[in-house]
Structure 1
Amino acid sequence: MFKIVLVTGHSMIPTLQNGERVLAWTPVVRKPFKRGEIVTLFHIDHIHLPADKRSRPNLHAAIATTEQEPVELFVKRIVGLPGDTIRIPVNQLSPHTLTIADPQANRCGSDFVWHIPDGHVFVQGDGPHSIDSVVWGSIPFTQLKQIVLCRFPSFKRIPCTTI
Protein backbone atom coordinates (compact mmCIF):
# COMPACT_ATOMS: atom_id res chain seq x y z
CA MET A 1 0.00 0.00 0.00
CA PHE A 2 1.27 3.47 -0.91
CA LYS A 3 0.65 6.63 1.12
CA ILE A 4 1.61 10.25 0.89
CA VAL A 5 2.96 11.36 4.24
CA LEU A 6 3.81 14.81 5.57
CA VAL A 7 7.17 15.24 7.25
CA THR A 8 7.24 17.65 10.18
CA GLY A 9 10.40 18.29 12.14
CA HIS A 10 14.06 18.82 11.41
CA SER A 11 15.93 15.61 12.25
CA MET A 12 16.15 14.46 8.61
CA ILE A 13 17.57 17.73 7.24
CA PRO A 14 19.13 18.08 4.68
CA THR A 15 17.49 15.04 3.06
CA LEU A 16 13.91 15.83 4.09
CA GLN A 17 12.72 19.30 5.02
CA ASN A 18 10.02 20.25 7.48
CA GLY A 19 6.71 20.40 5.56
CA GLU A 20 7.76 18.18 2.65
CA ARG A 21 5.67 15.26 1.46
CA VAL A 22 7.04 11.83 0.66
CA LEU A 23 5.66 8.69 -0.92
CA ALA A 24 5.86 5.79 1.53
CA TRP A 25 5.20 2.13 0.84
CA THR A 26 3.92 -0.45 3.29
CA PRO A 27 5.18 -3.82 2.05
CA VAL A 28 2.54 -6.55 1.99
CA VAL A 29 5.22 -9.19 2.40
CA ARG A 30 8.18 -8.48 4.66
CA LYS A 31 11.29 -7.83 2.60
CA PRO A 32 14.87 -7.55 3.80
CA PHE A 33 15.68 -4.03 4.91
CA LYS A 34 18.69 -2.30 3.40
CA ARG A 35 21.24 -0.02 4.96
CA GLY A 36 20.54 3.53 3.81
CA GLU A 37 16.77 3.11 3.39
CA ILE A 38 14.58 5.78 4.93
CA VAL A 39 11.72 4.29 6.92
CA THR A 40 8.82 5.34 9.10
CA LEU A 41 8.56 3.70 12.48
CA PHE A 42 6.47 3.76 15.61
CA HIS A 43 8.43 3.91 18.84
CA ILE A 44 6.36 3.61 22.00
CA ASP A 45 9.32 4.13 24.37
CA HIS A 46 9.64 7.74 23.23
CA ILE A 47 6.21 8.43 24.71
CA HIS A 48 7.27 6.96 28.07
CA LEU A 49 10.35 9.14 28.49
CA PRO A 50 9.98 11.72 31.27
CA ALA A 51 8.82 15.06 29.88
CA ASP A 52 12.15 16.75 30.64
CA LYS A 53 14.00 14.04 28.68
CA ARG A 54 11.62 13.94 25.71
CA SER A 55 12.69 15.61 22.50
CA ARG A 56 11.09 18.77 21.27
CA PRO A 57 9.32 17.37 18.19
CA ASN A 58 10.12 20.30 15.92
CA LEU A 59 13.83 20.04 16.59
CA HIS A 60 14.72 16.41 17.12
CA ALA A 61 12.04 14.36 15.40
CA ALA A 62 10.89 14.11 11.85
CA ILE A 63 7.29 12.97 12.12
CA ALA A 64 5.25 11.45 9.30
CA THR A 65 1.48 11.75 9.33
CA THR A 66 -1.29 11.16 6.82
CA GLU A 67 -4.80 12.55 6.78
CA GLN A 68 -6.18 9.02 7.03
CA GLU A 69 -3.96 8.07 9.98
CA PRO A 70 -2.98 10.93 12.26
CA VAL A 71 -0.67 8.57 14.21
CA GLU A 72 2.80 10.03 14.52
CA LEU A 73 5.52 7.91 12.99
CA PHE A 74 9.19 8.81 13.17
CA VAL A 75 11.15 9.14 9.92
CA LYS A 76 14.72 7.83 10.12
CA ARG A 77 17.45 6.21 8.01
CA ILE A 78 18.58 2.62 8.60
CA VAL A 79 22.30 2.71 9.38
CA GLY A 80 22.72 -0.70 11.01
CA LEU A 81 21.41 -4.19 10.25
CA PRO A 82 21.30 -7.39 12.34
CA GLY A 83 24.82 -8.46 13.24
CA ASP A 84 26.34 -4.99 12.74
CA THR A 85 28.34 -3.15 15.37
CA ILE A 86 27.68 0.59 15.45
CA ARG A 87 30.29 2.94 16.96
CA ILE A 88 29.56 6.61 17.49
CA PRO A 89 32.16 8.92 19.04
CA VAL A 90 30.81 10.79 22.05
CA ASN A 91 32.01 14.10 20.57
CA GLN A 92 29.60 13.64 17.63
CA LEU A 93 26.56 13.74 19.92
CA SER A 94 24.81 16.88 21.12
CA PRO A 95 24.86 17.63 24.86
CA HIS A 96 21.09 17.00 24.98
CA THR A 97 21.48 13.60 23.31
CA LEU A 98 24.24 12.63 25.75
CA THR A 99 21.88 13.19 28.68
CA ILE A 100 19.29 10.78 27.27
CA ALA A 101 21.51 8.30 25.38
CA ASP A 102 20.52 4.63 25.42
CA PRO A 103 21.57 3.18 28.79
CA GLN A 104 22.05 -0.20 27.06
CA ALA A 105 24.86 1.17 24.89
CA ASN A 106 28.35 0.00 25.76
CA ARG A 107 31.11 2.55 26.27
CA CYS A 108 34.40 1.73 24.60
CA GLY A 109 36.86 4.54 25.25
CA SER A 110 35.25 7.70 23.89
CA ASP A 111 32.70 5.81 21.76
CA PHE A 112 29.21 4.49 22.31
CA VAL A 113 28.92 0.96 20.88
CA TRP A 114 25.81 -1.01 19.96
CA HIS A 115 25.64 -4.62 18.71
CA ILE A 116 22.51 -5.01 16.59
CA PRO A 117 20.61 -8.23 17.40
CA ASP A 118 18.67 -10.40 14.96
CA GLY A 119 15.33 -8.90 13.96
CA HIS A 120 16.46 -5.33 14.72
CA VAL A 121 17.91 -2.30 12.95
CA PHE A 122 19.72 0.83 14.10
CA VAL A 123 18.21 4.08 12.79
CA GLN A 124 19.41 7.67 12.79
CA GLY A 125 18.20 11.01 11.55
CA ASP A 126 20.33 12.74 8.92
CA GLY A 127 20.48 15.94 10.97
CA PRO A 128 22.84 16.55 13.89
CA HIS A 129 20.10 16.90 16.53
CA SER A 130 18.09 13.72 16.12
CA ILE A 131 16.38 11.50 18.65
CA ASP A 132 16.89 8.02 17.25
CA SER A 133 18.57 4.70 18.07
CA VAL A 134 21.28 6.58 19.96
CA VAL A 135 18.53 7.20 22.53
CA TRP A 136 16.17 4.29 21.88
CA GLY A 137 18.63 1.51 21.10
CA SER A 138 18.00 -0.91 18.27
CA ILE A 139 14.51 -1.03 16.76
CA PRO A 140 12.62 -4.32 16.20
CA PHE A 141 11.52 -4.99 12.62
CA THR A 142 7.93 -5.04 13.92
CA GLN A 143 8.12 -1.30 14.65
CA LEU A 144 9.14 -0.40 11.08
CA LYS A 145 6.00 0.60 9.21
CA GLN A 146 6.87 2.00 5.78
CA ILE A 147 9.75 2.52 3.38
CA VAL A 148 10.08 6.04 1.97
CA LEU A 149 10.37 5.76 -1.81
CA CYS A 150 10.67 9.37 -2.95
CA ARG A 151 10.20 12.98 -2.01
CA PHE A 152 7.70 15.15 -3.84
CA PRO A 153 9.08 18.34 -5.37
CA SER A 154 8.96 21.28 -3.01
CA PHE A 155 9.06 24.97 -3.85
CA LYS A 156 11.26 25.40 -0.77
CA ARG A 157 14.10 23.69 -2.63
CA ILE A 158 13.90 25.80 -5.81
CA PRO A 159 16.27 28.75 -5.60
CA CYS A 160 14.76 32.03 -6.73
CA THR A 161 15.81 35.60 -7.14
CA THR A 162 13.78 38.73 -6.67
CA ILE A 163 13.42 40.91 -9.74
Structure 2
Amino acid sequence: MGNYQQPLLENRSLYQMAALISLVTTSLIFITAVFLVRKKFTLITVLGSSMYPTFRTGDRLLVLKRHFPHQYRVGQIVVAHPPYPSPKWREKLYVKRLIGLPGDEVAVPETQLNSQIHVAEADSIDVSRNRIWRLPDTYCFIQGDSHWSEDCRAWGPIPVQLLVGVVCLKLPCRTGSADDGEIVKQAPSAVRSTSLPLKIDGE
Protein backbone atom coordinates (compact mmCIF):
# COMPACT_ATOMS: atom_id res chain seq x y z
CA MET A 1 0.00 0.00 0.00
CA GLY A 2 2.92 2.29 0.71
CA ASN A 3 4.02 2.02 -2.93
CA TYR A 4 0.64 3.34 -4.10
CA GLN A 5 0.56 6.15 -1.57
CA GLN A 6 3.82 7.72 -2.72
CA PRO A 7 2.62 8.55 -6.28
CA LEU A 8 -0.59 9.95 -4.81
CA LEU A 9 1.39 12.26 -2.54
CA GLU A 10 3.61 13.31 -5.43
CA ASN A 11 0.59 14.07 -7.62
CA ARG A 12 -1.00 16.09 -4.83
CA SER A 13 2.23 18.04 -4.38
CA LEU A 14 2.42 18.76 -8.12
CA TYR A 15 -1.22 19.87 -8.11
CA GLN A 16 -0.61 22.22 -5.19
CA MET A 17 2.48 23.64 -6.89
CA ALA A 18 0.55 24.21 -10.13
CA ALA A 19 -2.26 25.90 -8.21
CA LEU A 20 0.25 28.14 -6.42
CA ILE A 21 1.95 29.10 -9.69
CA SER A 22 -1.45 29.85 -11.24
CA LEU A 23 -2.42 32.03 -8.25
CA VAL A 24 0.87 33.95 -8.34
CA THR A 25 0.61 34.47 -12.11
CA THR A 26 -2.99 35.69 -11.85
CA SER A 27 -2.05 38.05 -9.01
CA LEU A 28 0.87 39.48 -10.99
CA ILE A 29 -1.34 40.01 -14.04
CA PHE A 30 -3.97 41.75 -11.90
CA ILE A 31 -1.40 43.98 -10.16
CA THR A 32 0.18 44.89 -13.51
CA ALA A 33 -3.23 45.69 -15.02
CA VAL A 34 -4.16 47.90 -12.06
CA PHE A 35 -0.80 49.69 -12.31
CA LEU A 36 -1.23 50.33 -16.03
CA VAL A 37 -4.81 51.54 -15.60
CA ARG A 38 -3.80 53.90 -12.78
CA LYS A 39 -0.93 55.17 -14.91
CA LYS A 40 -3.12 55.84 -17.94
CA PHE A 41 -6.51 56.76 -16.48
CA THR A 42 -8.10 58.72 -13.66
CA LEU A 43 -11.73 58.91 -12.56
CA ILE A 44 -13.29 62.28 -11.73
CA THR A 45 -16.65 63.63 -10.59
CA VAL A 46 -18.18 66.82 -11.98
CA LEU A 47 -19.15 69.72 -9.70
CA GLY A 48 -20.36 73.05 -11.09
CA SER A 49 -21.94 74.41 -14.26
CA SER A 50 -19.31 75.59 -16.72
CA MET A 51 -19.71 72.56 -19.02
CA TYR A 52 -23.51 72.53 -18.90
CA PRO A 53 -25.40 71.08 -20.75
CA THR A 54 -22.66 68.61 -21.74
CA PHE A 55 -21.97 67.64 -18.12
CA ARG A 56 -23.88 68.11 -14.88
CA THR A 57 -22.91 67.91 -11.23
CA GLY A 58 -22.46 64.28 -10.23
CA ASP A 59 -21.40 63.04 -13.67
CA ARG A 60 -18.47 60.67 -13.41
CA LEU A 61 -15.86 60.90 -16.15
CA LEU A 62 -13.04 58.61 -17.16
CA VAL A 63 -9.99 60.63 -18.20
CA LEU A 64 -7.18 59.31 -20.38
CA LYS A 65 -3.95 60.99 -19.31
CA ARG A 66 -1.91 62.70 -22.02
CA HIS A 67 1.59 64.12 -21.70
CA PHE A 68 2.43 65.69 -25.07
CA PRO A 69 0.75 68.46 -27.13
CA HIS A 70 0.55 66.31 -30.28
CA GLN A 71 -1.73 63.88 -28.40
CA TYR A 72 -4.52 66.48 -28.22
CA ARG A 73 -7.06 67.54 -30.85
CA VAL A 74 -9.19 70.69 -31.05
CA GLY A 75 -12.74 69.95 -29.92
CA GLN A 76 -11.77 67.37 -27.32
CA ILE A 77 -12.98 67.80 -23.74
CA VAL A 78 -9.92 68.04 -21.55
CA VAL A 79 -8.98 68.26 -17.89
CA ALA A 80 -6.46 70.95 -16.94
CA HIS A 81 -4.93 72.67 -13.96
CA PRO A 82 -5.97 76.33 -13.60
CA PRO A 83 -3.31 78.93 -14.49
CA TYR A 84 -2.96 80.24 -10.94
CA PRO A 85 0.44 80.28 -9.20
CA SER A 86 -0.98 79.42 -5.77
CA PRO A 87 -0.29 75.77 -4.79
CA LYS A 88 -3.83 75.65 -3.38
CA TRP A 89 -5.29 76.28 -6.85
CA ARG A 90 -2.78 74.06 -8.62
CA GLU A 91 -4.25 71.08 -6.76
CA LYS A 92 -7.56 71.67 -8.55
CA LEU A 93 -8.61 70.64 -12.03
CA TYR A 94 -11.00 72.13 -14.57
CA VAL A 95 -12.98 70.38 -17.28
CA LYS A 96 -13.15 72.43 -20.50
CA ARG A 97 -13.30 72.05 -24.26
CA LEU A 98 -10.05 72.45 -26.19
CA ILE A 99 -10.51 75.34 -28.63
CA GLY A 100 -6.96 75.98 -29.82
CA LEU A 101 -3.52 74.36 -29.83
CA PRO A 102 -0.03 75.89 -30.10
CA GLY A 103 0.25 77.95 -33.29
CA ASP A 104 -3.52 78.28 -33.79
CA GLU A 105 -5.48 81.51 -34.12
CA VAL A 106 -8.59 81.49 -31.94
CA ALA A 107 -11.55 83.77 -32.67
CA VAL A 108 -14.14 84.15 -29.92
CA PRO A 109 -17.40 85.86 -31.01
CA GLU A 110 -18.64 88.71 -28.87
CA THR A 111 -21.83 86.72 -28.25
CA GLN A 112 -19.73 84.14 -26.34
CA LEU A 113 -18.41 86.76 -23.90
CA ASN A 114 -20.12 87.35 -20.58
CA SER A 115 -20.22 91.00 -19.51
CA GLN A 116 -20.15 89.89 -15.87
CA ILE A 117 -16.92 87.94 -16.27
CA HIS A 118 -13.57 89.62 -16.89
CA VAL A 119 -12.35 89.21 -20.47
CA ALA A 120 -8.62 88.83 -21.03
CA GLU A 121 -6.91 91.21 -23.42
CA ALA A 122 -6.93 89.72 -26.91
CA ASP A 123 -4.24 90.18 -29.56
CA SER A 124 -6.76 91.93 -31.78
CA ILE A 125 -10.47 92.48 -32.51
CA ASP A 126 -11.70 91.96 -36.06
CA VAL A 127 -14.47 93.80 -37.92
CA SER A 128 -17.07 91.33 -36.60
CA ARG A 129 -16.02 92.16 -33.03
CA ASN A 130 -14.48 88.72 -32.57
CA ARG A 131 -11.66 88.59 -30.01
CA ILE A 132 -8.58 87.10 -31.67
CA TRP A 133 -5.86 85.23 -29.77
CA ARG A 134 -2.76 83.94 -31.57
CA LEU A 135 -1.40 81.07 -29.54
CA PRO A 136 2.36 80.85 -28.91
CA ASP A 137 4.19 77.57 -29.45
CA THR A 138 3.63 76.25 -25.94
CA TYR A 139 0.12 77.60 -25.25
CA CYS A 140 -3.44 76.40 -25.78
CA PHE A 141 -6.97 77.78 -25.37
CA ILE A 142 -9.71 76.01 -23.40
CA GLN A 143 -13.32 77.08 -22.96
CA GLY A 144 -16.40 75.82 -21.12
CA ASP A 145 -19.64 75.06 -22.94
CA SER A 146 -21.59 77.32 -20.60
CA HIS A 147 -21.85 81.08 -21.08
CA TRP A 148 -20.90 81.45 -17.40
CA SER A 149 -17.71 79.43 -17.61
CA GLU A 150 -14.48 80.91 -16.28
CA ASP A 151 -11.83 79.88 -18.78
CA CYS A 152 -9.31 81.23 -21.29
CA ARG A 153 -11.74 83.98 -22.23
CA ALA A 154 -10.94 85.38 -18.78
CA TRP A 155 -7.41 84.02 -18.32
CA GLY A 156 -6.03 84.28 -21.83
CA PRO A 157 -4.10 81.35 -23.34
CA ILE A 158 -2.60 78.88 -20.86
CA PRO A 159 0.56 76.72 -21.06
CA VAL A 160 -0.20 73.41 -22.74
CA GLN A 161 1.69 71.68 -19.93
CA LEU A 162 -1.29 72.42 -17.65
CA LEU A 163 -3.38 69.90 -19.60
CA VAL A 164 -3.79 66.60 -17.75
CA GLY A 165 -5.75 64.45 -20.16
CA VAL A 166 -8.80 63.86 -22.35
CA VAL A 167 -12.28 62.85 -21.19
CA CYS A 168 -12.90 59.57 -22.98
CA LEU A 169 -16.08 58.32 -21.30
CA LYS A 170 -18.98 59.53 -19.18
CA LEU A 171 -20.00 56.70 -16.89
CA PRO A 172 -23.72 55.90 -16.62
CA CYS A 173 -23.71 56.29 -12.83
CA ARG A 174 -23.89 59.72 -11.19
CA THR A 175 -23.11 60.99 -7.70
CA GLY A 176 -23.81 64.11 -5.68
CA SER A 177 -26.63 66.61 -6.12
CA ALA A 178 -28.79 67.21 -9.17
CA ASP A 179 -27.36 70.68 -9.79
CA ASP A 180 -25.99 71.38 -13.24
CA GLY A 181 -22.25 71.36 -13.26
CA GLU A 182 -18.83 71.07 -14.72
CA ILE A 183 -16.40 71.30 -11.83
CA VAL A 184 -14.59 68.11 -11.17
CA LYS A 185 -13.19 66.33 -8.16
CA GLN A 186 -11.56 62.97 -7.87
CA ALA A 187 -14.00 60.16 -7.31
CA PRO A 188 -13.27 56.98 -5.34
CA SER A 189 -12.23 54.27 -7.74
CA ALA A 190 -10.34 51.03 -7.90
CA VAL A 191 -7.80 52.46 -10.28
CA ARG A 192 -6.70 55.56 -8.41
CA SER A 193 -5.92 56.02 -4.74
CA THR A 194 -8.05 58.54 -2.89
CA SER A 195 -5.42 59.12 -0.22
CA LEU A 196 -4.51 62.37 -2.01
CA PRO A 197 -7.86 64.05 -2.84
CA LEU A 198 -7.93 65.79 -6.20
CA LYS A 199 -10.45 68.58 -6.61
CA ILE A 200 -11.66 69.51 -10.05
CA ASP A 201 -13.44 72.79 -10.51
CA GLY A 202 -15.21 74.30 -13.47
CA GLU A 203 -16.91 77.46 -12.36
TM-score, normalised relative to structure 1: 0.71
1:85 equivalenced with 2:79 (yes/no): no
- Counterpart of 2:53, as a letter, is P
Unaligned runs of 5+ in 2: 1-38, 179-203
Aligned ranges for residues 32-71 of structure 1 at < 5 Å? 32-45=71-84, 71=91
Runs (4+) off by over 6 Å: none
Of 114, 124, 142 in structure 1, the residue corresponding to residue 133 of structure 2 is 114
Q: Quick check: 2:96–2:142 contact (8 Å CA) kept in 1?
A: yes
Relative to structure 2, which stretch is displaced further, 29-38 or 112-121? 29-38
Alignment of 1:132 onto 2:151: yes
CA-atom RMSD, angstroms? 2.2
Structure index of larger Rg: 2
Residue number among 171, 175, 198 corresponding to 1:152 in the alignment: 171
Could you tell me which amino acid in structure 1 is paired with residue 109 of structure 2? Answer: P
| Pick aligned residue for 1:101 from 106, 110, 119 | 119
Report the equivalent of 2:28: none
Counterpart amino acid of residue 135 in structure 1 = A
Cα displacement (A) at 1:104: 4.4
Q: Does the 8 Å contact 1:40/1:147 carry over to 2? A: yes
Cα deviation for residue 135 of structure 1 reads 0.8
The 3 A distance-change label for structure 1 pair 105 and 131 is farther
Q: Match for 2:93 among 67, 73, 79? A: 73
Which structure has greater helix proportion? Answer: 2
Aligned length: 131
Q: Deviations over 1:33-74 (max 9, x none)?
A: 101111111123386xxxxxxxxxxxxxxxxxxxxxxx3201
Q: Which runs of 5+ in 1 are unaligned?
A: 48-70, 157-163
Q: Structure 2: which amino acid aligns with 1:116? A: L
CA distance in 2, matches of 1:19, 1:128: 20
The percent identity for this pair of structures is 32
Q: Give CA-to-partner distance per residue, 1:54-106, whole Å, 9 cap, x none.
A: xxxxxxxxxxxxxxxxx320110101122221112223312112xx1112442
**Secondary structure of the corresponding residue to residue 153 of structure 1:** strand
Q: TM-score, normalised by structure 2?
A: 0.58
Give the whole-Å Cα distance in 2 for the aligned partners of 1:36 and 1:25: 15
AA of the residue aligned to 1:25: L
Match of 2:14 in 1: none
